[in-house]
Every structure is written in C-alpha cells, then in structure tokens.
Amino acid sequence: MVMFSQLRRFNLIDGHGRRAKLMDLAIALLDGDYPPVTRLFFLDQKNKKRSLQWSQVKKLDLKSRSITVRDLESAPSESTDSMAKEVLLGDDVLDALVLDLQNRRATRANDLWLEQDGNEFVLRAADTSFGAFLRRLTRGRYGHVARSALYDWKYIEFLRGDPDAVRNGEGYHLRVARLPPGEIARLTDMLPYLHASELITLLPDDKAVDTLEVLSPQRQLQVFEELEEDQAIAILILMAPDIAADLLGRLPTKLMRQYLNKLPETQSERLIELLGYPEDAVGGIMTNDVIFARASLTVAEALETLREPLKKPDFVFIIYVVDNLKARRVRGSISLRNLITADAELRLEEVMDPYLSTLNPLSSASEAAYRVIDSHVAALPVVNDDGRLLGIVTVDAAIAQVAPANWRSQAPRVFS
C-alpha cells in the first residue's frame, strides 16, 4: 500500500491542527509473519523526540500524504537510548542485510512495503530493486514500484549482525531452518562473520551442527568462537567426532581444554583419542563413532542391541563385526541392508563379509583417502596392529582430504 521511503516524509497532523515531523516507526518483530507497526516517533515543534502508539493513528491519507493522530501534545518524550531499544524500520531494517530465502541469497532491503491488515499496519515486503534507490534519492518522484521486485516479508530473515541479539530473545521467522544444511551453509558464506554467527546461533542445535559441519574450516572456526559456551558444548556433543576434533584442534589451547573438560566423559574421550593422531595421518581424518556388534550374536539379537546405537551416529550404512566388545578385533562387516534382510536365526559371522580392506591409523591420510574413494564403498575401517577396530574413514572425509581447498570453499574470495 505504501513504501516506507515515502511514508517517512508524510506530515503528522493531530486533531487540533498541530504538526510534527515523523522520524521513524517501531515494529514488533516477534509477532507473526508480518510484523505490525507498534509506535511512531516524531520530532515536535521544539525538536524534541516523542512517541505515540500506532493505535492513536486515526487516518493514513495517501493522497494528501498525511498521518492524522488524536493528540500530539499528550505524547511522551523519548531519548536516543529509549529509541535504540526498539526495532526501528528506518534505523535498523532499511538498508540492513537480509536473507531472501526465496532466491537463496543475501541482499539489502532497499525499501520496505507496508500494508494495512485489518486493524494493524504491517511490514509486508522488502524491495530489493535498484528502482528503490532512485525512489529514495528523488524523494519518490521516480522509481516506480515493481511488484516483481517485492519479496514477501514472510520469506525474509532479518539479521542484525550481532550474535547477542538472538540471546536477548528478539524475534526471527526461523524459516531459514527449513532449508537443507548445505543451503544454509551457502547462505552464511555470503554473510559477514558476525551475521553468520547470528544465523547459526538462532538455528536449533541439530541444524546448527549439520550446517557447521559443511562450512569451510576457517568460517567454521570464526562462527564457533562467537558462540556461547552452552551452545558450543551442545554442538560439540552432536557433531561428528572427526569434525569436532578438527575444530577443537584449531581453537586456542585454553579454550580447547575448557571444552574438553566440560564435555561428557565418553564424548571427550573420543575426541582426545582423535586429537592424538597427527592431522596428516589416517587417524587425523577418521571418525571413531562407529557401529559394531559381536560375531556370535544372531541377526535378530544384533538388530535388537543395535537399535539404540543406530539412532545416534551419522554413519550407519556398515556394521562391523568384532570378536568381542573388549578387544574389539574385526572379523568382517555387514551392510545395514544385508543385516535387515538376513535370516533372523543366523549368526552374524555366518552372514558377514569376512573379506575386508583395512587402514592403519598411522599411514598417510591422502593415500588412504584415495583408497577409500577408489574402493567405492561408503567407508573403510581403521584397524591397529592388534586388529582392534579404531574407527572408519568415510567417503565424505576422504573427499574432503583430497579435494583442492578452493573447490571446497564456496565463499567468494578476491583479496587473498
């Protein structure tokens, strides 16, 4: 109905004929898809800042470009500080970096489209066109509003560039969390690191983990360091151990020790074990979150005991068969599909594949990576000299190891 750049120049008139200069509008971001305007700020005759509830507005006249309110004199006065607490359309939202989820891109809100919705006056869309520049520079004389350049506010995520904003409980749509992690990661690559951290902070933990896992190592570290300790630990618990170990290994030693001490015992033991291997060795790229079962179990028993473990780790396609849980010596492997379809009475050692290519934890990481990729299986097990199963190198980890760094990173790099 009206663009904010035009509304901003409307005259403010009250029932007694007094006039004032409109400064800005406050909106309530918490309320639904289209945030309603809650208050208007204006400068009175003496150039003092004052505010009125939007409900005091009697008439919004587009023809005469005026906003009629009941009484300007009764309005309470405001200070710069009290205004800073509100989310202001002009100061905060206009020109801000926003995520346009329809186009999967980060862009800027060049203008804002406001609309009457029942009793409320709501922020309906963002204009990202260049026409909006023209409109604002020529005070609305030129710069026709093109419907096609208006993006529904429902699919816009407004970011403030401050990870703390999320912790203060300010409103977000969170529709961005519906995207697959890879797409969220690509979006964060287009953002400055503080905006990216804000985005990760507001995602649910499991989504945040999936997104962090696919970010470039440098971005991952930047974002992670901005997180609060609670969320950081929650994320480390959910993260695949190999990625978590790489991340911890790049943190400052003090911070790394602090996190390792605060993580649950099993988790922290896992990470310490992985951190013990040099990064260019198989141990440096393996994950030790692996599913295994005793060879003497029947298929039915195995399915029963594996139900819980299968819920957690990322990698579940192959189950390793070991002699006993203590020595954990590998006897063979069985794919999840073969396990489910196998005769329930048979024992695992009868249905497993006993021929197994294995990796040594101390051999070269890149050679091992090529072996994993060439073998065309989802993962190869890592076994020490005693035959003990230590972990697996997944095909994902192998590709990450051999792919050139510039192919992996999606961030636009120009200066370095």
Interface with another protein (CB under 8 A): 94-97, 105, 107-108, 110, 128, 130, 133, 136-137, 161, 190, 192-195, 218-219, 222, 225-226, 245-246, 249-250, 253, 256-257, 260-261, 265, 268, 272, 274-279, 281, 283-284, 329-332, 354-358, 360, 362-363, 385, 387, 411-416
The token pair that represents 65 in the structure block: 């470009």
Alpha-helical segments (H) within 97-157: 131-137
Element (H, E) at 199: helix 193-202
- Give the shortest CB-153-to-another protein separation in angstroms: 16
Q: Which is nearer to another protein, 144 or 257 (CB)?
A: 257
Residue 39 main-chain phi, psi, to 5 deg: -140, 160
Q: How far from 85 is each of 52, 55, 148, 168, 199, CA to CA, in Å?
A: 15, 20, 33, 11, 21
Smallest gap from Cβ 307 to another protein, in A, equals 25
Q: Cβ of residue 202: shortest distance to another protein, in angstroms?
A: 17
Compute the least distance from the CB of residue 285 to another protein, in Å: 10
CB of 96 to another protein, least distance (A): 7
Between 313 and 332, whose beta carbon lies closer to another protein?
332
The alpha carbon of 262 is separated from its chain's Cα centroid by a whole number of angstroms, namely 24
Separation CA 379–CA 317 (nearest Å): 9
Closer of 122 and 271 to another protein (Cβ): 271
Dihedral over Cα of 333, 335, 340, 343: its sign: negative
Q: Please, what is the minimum distance in Å from the beta carbon of residue 28 to another protein?
A: 21
* Closest to another protein by CB, 52 or 235: 235
Q: Which is nearer to another protein, 36 or 294 (CB)?
A: 294
CB nearer to another protein: give 57 or 275. Answer: 275
- Our CB check for another protein shows the closer of 21 and 70 to be 21
Dihedral (CA of 91, 95, 96, 99) sign = positive
CB count within 10 Å of CB 304 equals 11
Is 286 or 342 the residue whose CB approaches another protein more closely? 286
- Which parts of 71-161 are beta strand (E)? 87-88, 97-100, 105-108, 111-117, 120-127, 150-152, 156-158
CA gap 92, 153 in Å, rounded: 15
Task: Tell me the closest approach of the beta carbon of residue 78 to another protein, in angstroms.
Answer: 18
* 258-264 contact pairs (CB < 8 A, 24+): 258/229, 259/232, 259/233, 262/229, 262/233, 263/233, 263/236, 263/237, 264/237
Shortest Å, Cβ 332 to another protein: 5
**Pairing relation of β-strands 66-69 and 57-61?**
antiparallel
